[in-house]
Amino acid sequence: MFRTALALLFLLLFALAARGLAADMAAKVQQSCAGCHSLGLLCDKAGGDPAYWRETVARMADSGAQVESAEVGPMAAYLAGLAKAQAPFCK
């Protein structure tokens, strides 16, 4: 019983942390991408192949987007995991 409760607590804390990280990444995407182009472009292309997004984010960082090298993977995963036009910055 104790192990089950502990496991459920861990899952709840993980879900809350993941939700906070997603909100942080949405803000980072807005900050990093909107300086050069419309966020509508991201909304239209959201979701899909993580490799596409990794390449795209890395290319944008090389072109001057304010994205640290350690943020490329998480940002690509965030963008690949979105449903089209469902990101907070698409509304």
Q: CB of 74 within 8 A of CB of 25?
A: yes
35: DSSP letter: T
- Higher pLDDT: 85 or 62? It is 62
CB burial of residue 70 (10 Å; 0-12, 13-18, 19+): exposed
What residues contact residue 61 under an 8 Å CB cut-off, 6+ apart? 67, 68, 69, 72
Whether the per-residue pLDDT at 37 is higher than 90: the answer is no
pLDDT on residue 21: 52
pLDDT, position 36: 86
pTM of the full structure? 0.71
In whole angstroms, give the CA distance from residue 19 to residue 11: 12
pLDDT bin (cut points 50, 70, 90) of residue 11 is very low
